[in-house]
Amino acid sequence: MISPKKAFDDFLYGLKNISNMKANIVIPSFDLAHHANVIKKFNFIPSLLSTIYLSVIVLYQVAYSYIIIFQKKDEFFWLVINFFHQSYFIEVVIWVIIWFLLYLLVQPIAEAWVITLIESYTKKEESKYKVANWFSQWVLNFLPLFEYHNFMWLFRILSIVTFYFLLLRVFGQDYAIFISIVMFLYLLFAVLVNLLFAYTKFFIIFEKKHVFEAISLSTHMTLNSLEITWKLYYTLFLVYARVILTIIVFTIFPIIFSALFAYITSSMLFTIWAIVLCIFFLIFLVFVSHLNSVLEIFVEALWYNAYIENKKEMSWEEN
C-alpha cells in the first residue's frame, strides 16, 4: 500500500515536472512562434504547398462522394474523356507533376531549415540566417530527411484515412466492419510509431545520424522521457486541426460556386460573383496557409525544446 507521504511526494514531483515543462518547453515555443517573423516568412511557401496538397485530397474525397451519392458517374467520365481531348491537357499534366515533385522536395528541405532557424533563434545566432547556411543544411540533411519522410508516410494519419476510404470503395460495404477494425488497429500502431520516432529528425539534423540510427536513438529518448513525450504528442493534433479548417474552406467554396452556377442565369452577374468568390478563396487560402505555418513552427519549437531538455537529463543521468 502506498503511504500518504509517498503519494504526496509523487504529486509534488508531478507538479514540478509540469512547471518545468511549461517554463522550459511551452512558453519559449509560444514566444518563438509569436515573435520569429523570419521563420514565419520563410515557412509560408512550404506551408502553402502543403495546404494545396491537402486541399486536393479533400476535394477528391468530396467530389467522389458527390459522384456516388447523386449517381453522376456517366457525367464524370464524360468530363474526364473531354478533358483528355483538350489542347491544354499536356500543360496541366506537366504542371501537376512539377508541383508534386516540388512538394516532395520542398518538405524535407523546409523542415531542416525551419528546425535550424529555430535553433539559431533560440541561441540568438543571427549569423545563421544567411542563405549560405540554409544551402549547407539542405545539402547535409536532404537525403536522410527525404528517406525519413518517405518511410513515415506509411504512418501519417492523413495517409491512413485516405487508404481506409480507398479500401471501402474497392471492397464495398460487405467488408466495412472488418476493414474498419484492421485500420483502427493500424491507426493505434501508427500513433505508437509516431510517438517513438518523434525525435528522429533532430538526431538527423543536429547529430548527423543515419535514418535508422536516428530512429533507434529517438526510441531510446522517448522511452527515457515518456511522460514529457506523451504530453507533447497531443500537440501534434494542433497540426491536424488544420485538416478540419481546410476541409471546411475547400468544401464550402465548391458548394457555393455550384449554387451560383445553378441559380444565376445572367452571365454577367455570374462572372461578377465568380470573381468575388475567387478573391475570397485566395484570401482564405493565404490565411489558412499562414495559420498552418505558425502552427507548424510552434509544434516544431515544442519538440526542439523537448529534445534539448531530454538531452540535458540524459547527460545528467550518465554523469
What's the mean pLDDT in 187-196? Answer: 89
Distance (Å, rounded) from C-alpha 307 to C-alpha 301? Answer: 10
Condensed to tens digits (0 to 9), the pLDDT of residues 82-135 reads 878 778 788 888 988 888 888 777 878 788 888 888 888 887 766 655 655 666
Whole-model pTM? 0.77
How far, in whole angstroms, is CA 241 from its chain's centroid?
10
CA angle at 91 for the pair 89 and 95, rounded to the nearest 5°: 120
Condensed to tens digits (0 to 9), the pLDDT of residues 160-190 reads 877 887 787 778 778 888 988 999 999 899 9
Long-range interactions of 204-212: CB distance < 8 A, separation 24+? 204/141, 204/144, 204/145, 204/148, 205/112, 205/115, 205/116, 205/137, 205/141, 205/145, 206/119, 208/140, 209/144, 210/144, 211/144, 211/147, 211/148, 211/151
**What's the grid cell of residue 150?**
518517405
